[in-house]
Structures are given as C-alpha cells and as structure tokens.
C-alpha cells in the first residue's frame, strides 16, 4: 500500500475537485484514506476512529465542535458517546490531524485544515471563517520568557454585523 502523508490527504480533500488531481494518487476510496491516515500517525484504526475520521475528513476543510460532530455521528447512525467524540478529537489533535481553535472559554473548534492560517469568528452566528496566513501581519511578537519559544500565533478576528441606521 502506498503510504500517504497527512499533508497530501488534506490537500486532496480541499474543494469540490477533490475526486480528481491529488486524490487519484491515493486509493480513491475515502474509507481507505482515513485508514492510512490513522496508520500514518500511529493511531489504531478502530471502528469509532474510522467512522469519526470519515465524517470529519470526507467533506473537505471544515471547522467543527465536539457537539456538532456528535450530532452528525448520531445522524449517521454511528453508535458513539459524546465523551468518545471528545477523546477522539483530542487524540486526532495530538497527532496533528486536527488543529484546535479556541474562540472563547466555552467554544472550541477543531479545524481539519492544519496549515498555518487565521480565523474570523462571527459573533452571534458561531461561525468560523478562514483568513489566509498571508493576510495577517503580526507587527511585534512579544519576547517569550526564558526557556520558551513561540510555537504558533493564532489570530481570531471577531466580526459582528453592521447595524443599520
């Protein structure tokens, strides 16, 4: 079997043309893609991980909360508890398949696009939109304390609808 790097899988799943191009280099079957994706990062492809991975990664780049994924899994008749959904999302994050985007204390989104980029958060609509990395210039990076280095800078720009006067 051809090993597929995570990056390749993520690229292959972008946009409506994901059935052509890069995807053809893979097995052509999303289910197999999820399996090799999990194997590549050293996670055993259990039925629950496979099912959740398939829901997560089969539809292109997206931002999803644990509750949203739980709801989709339930609708797809995947027998899974909310706790398992949480655990799986965190396991996927730990191995780099997902990126966590904390919007505020109560809401954590998981992003299937793990490349460096930033986000708009639409207040009141609970919607996250991508901002390309090149569109944000961070002027002055604070100097980290001794013994630390900056791992990543995440910018969340909060939006609200303009009020009509």
Closer Cβ to Zn ion, 84 or 113, answer by number = 113
Residue 19 CB partners (closer than 8 Å, separation 6+): none
Kindly state the smallest distance separating residue 99's Cβ from Zn ion, in Å: 7
Question: Reduced to 3 states, what is the DSSP secondary structure of residue 101?
Answer: strand
Q: Is residue 33 a contact point for Zn ion (CB under 5 A)?
A: no
Q: Which stretch binds Zn ion (CB under 5 A): 33-41, 82-90, 106-114, 141-149?
A: 106-114
CB-based contact 51:73 (threshold 8 Å): yes
Chain-centroid distance of CA 50 in Å reads: 15
Q: Is residue 72 a contact point for Zn ion (CB under 5 A)?
A: no
Q: Is residue 130 a contact point for Zn ion (CB under 5 A)?
A: yes
Q: Which stretch binds Zn ion (CB under 5 A): 21-29, 108-116, 144-152, 155-163?
A: 108-116
Residue 155 neighbours by CB distance under 10 Å: 14
CB-based contact 128:121 (threshold 8 Å): yes
Kindly state the smallest distance separating residue 158's Cβ from Zn ion, in Å: 15
Which listed residue (51, 111, 112, 118) binds Zn ion by CB under 5 A?
Answer: 111
**In whole angstroms, what is the distance from residue 50 CA to residue 56 CA?**
10
Kindly list the residues in this chain that would bind Zn ion in the complex (CB under 5 A): 111, 113, 130
């Amino acid at each position: 079997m051809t090993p597929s790097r995570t990056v390749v899988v993520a690229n292959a799943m972008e946009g409506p043309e994901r059935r052509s191009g890069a995807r053809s280099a893979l097995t052509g079957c999303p289910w197999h893609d999820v399996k090799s994706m999990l194997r590549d990062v050293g996670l055993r492809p259990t039925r629950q991980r496979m099912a959740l991975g398939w829901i997560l990664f089969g539809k292109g780049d997206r931002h999803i909360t644990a509750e949203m994924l739980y709801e989709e899994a339930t609708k797809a008749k995947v027998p899974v508890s909310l706790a398992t959904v949480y655990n799986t999302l965190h396991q996927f994050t730990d191995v780099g398949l997902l990126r966590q985007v904390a919007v505020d204390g109560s809401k954590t989104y998981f992003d299937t696009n793990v490349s460096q980029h930033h986000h708009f958060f639409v207040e009141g609509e609970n919607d996250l939109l991508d901002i390309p990395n090149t569109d944000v210039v961070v002027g002055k990076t604070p100097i980290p304390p001794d013994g630390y280095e900056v791992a990543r800078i995440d910018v969340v720009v909060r939006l609200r609808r303009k009020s009509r006067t």
